[in-house]
């Protein structure tokens, strides 16, 4: 079993829909990261959080430390949001290295 | 501010050949990471440097992979000899890591990656 599990693996939505991607982890962490990867490989860090909720534009990330669960929400989705969204954690015992989930492929159709 | 630079962007080689990748991190970033991302999977850490020292190379296949960061700035990752299963995207990332040391969570900045195909 992976230390970081994401669901769903694939998600297709219509433009304007509210989107939720979930991430569960089974280990102690010092922080959880949400990253975005577009075709071509480049990865961009969206959020790093260790408690509560963060918002940036149409993106919202929440984390529940007790339940070891995080969600990434996208409001008013747009085709340019199509990408792979990756959840990663910084383990409490392993310094600053990241442990990644498998990613969620999001496709937003016009 | 310039981002993390990597070259080449693409490489095609035959199995048993050798290949090298180069990474230049963001200026002033002490920590540098090399990740391997196989198609359809999340990245996997190969090696982490803090300045010119190795912090973590536990998942580096040392029989064929090597990496160095001699002057604590840019880094090279080498595969010799390559196998078919080495086909992947090789990502370099860097993070600031303040004077208090590298053992804390911080944002990592990724390069565009090098896509390797081994035939």
pLDDT tens-digit readout, B80-101: 999 999 999 999 999 987 444 5
Q: Is the pLDDT of residue B102 over 60?
A: no
Q: What is the pLDDT of residue A96?
A: 80
SS3 content of chain A, % helix, strand, coil (to 5): 5, 60, 35
Residue A108 to chain B, least CA–CA distance (Å): 19
For residue A21, what is the enclosing H or E element? strand A19-25
For residues A34-50, average pLDDT: 90
Q: What is the pLDDT of residue B99?
A: 43
Percent of chain B at pLDDT exceeding 90: 77
C-alpha A75/C-alpha A71 separation (Å) is 13
Q: What is the pLDDT of residue A85?
A: 97
How many beta-carbon pairs under 8 angstroms link A with B? 74
List chain A residues with CB under 8 Å of B40: 102
Q: Is the pLDDT of residue A71 over 90?
A: yes
Please enumerate in sequence order all residues whose Cβ is within 8 A of that of B118, keeping only pairs 6 or more positions apart, or say none. B13, B14, B15, B82, B83, B84, B85, B86, B87
Contact A100, B42 (CB under 8 A): yes
Contact B48 A103 (CB under 8 A): no
C-alpha B93/C-alpha B81 separation (Å) is 24
Q: Is the pLDDT of residue A73 over 70?
A: yes
């Amino acid at each position: 079993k992976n230390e970081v599990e994401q669901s769903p693996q694939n998600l297709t939505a219509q433009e304007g829909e509210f989107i939720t991607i979930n991430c569960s982890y089974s280990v102690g962490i010092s922080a959880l990261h949400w990253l975005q990867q577009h075709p071509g490989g480049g990865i961009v860090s969206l959020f790093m959080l260790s408690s509560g909720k963060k918002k940036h534009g149409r993106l919202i990330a929440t984390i529940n430390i007790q339940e070891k669960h995080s969600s990434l929400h996208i409001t008013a989705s747009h085709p340019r949001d199509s990408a792979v969204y990756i959840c990663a954690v910084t383990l409490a015992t392993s310094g600053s290295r990241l442990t990644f989930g498998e990613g969620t492929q999001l496709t937003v159709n016009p | 501010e310039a981002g993390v630079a990597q070259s080449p962007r693409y490489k095609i080689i035959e199995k048993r050949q050798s290949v090298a990748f180069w990474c230049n991190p963001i200026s002033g970033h002490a920590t540098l990471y090399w990740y391997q991302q196989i198609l359809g999977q999340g990245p996997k850490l190969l090696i982490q440097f803090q300045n010119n020292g190795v912090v973590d190379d536990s998942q580096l296949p040392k029989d064929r992979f090597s990496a160095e960061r001699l002057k604590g700035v840019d880094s090279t990752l080498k595969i010799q000899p390559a196998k078919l299963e080495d086909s992947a995207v090789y990502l370099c990332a860097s993070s600031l890591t303040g004077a208090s040391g590298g053992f804390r969570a911080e944002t990592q900045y990724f390069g565009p990656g090098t896509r390797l195909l081994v035939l």
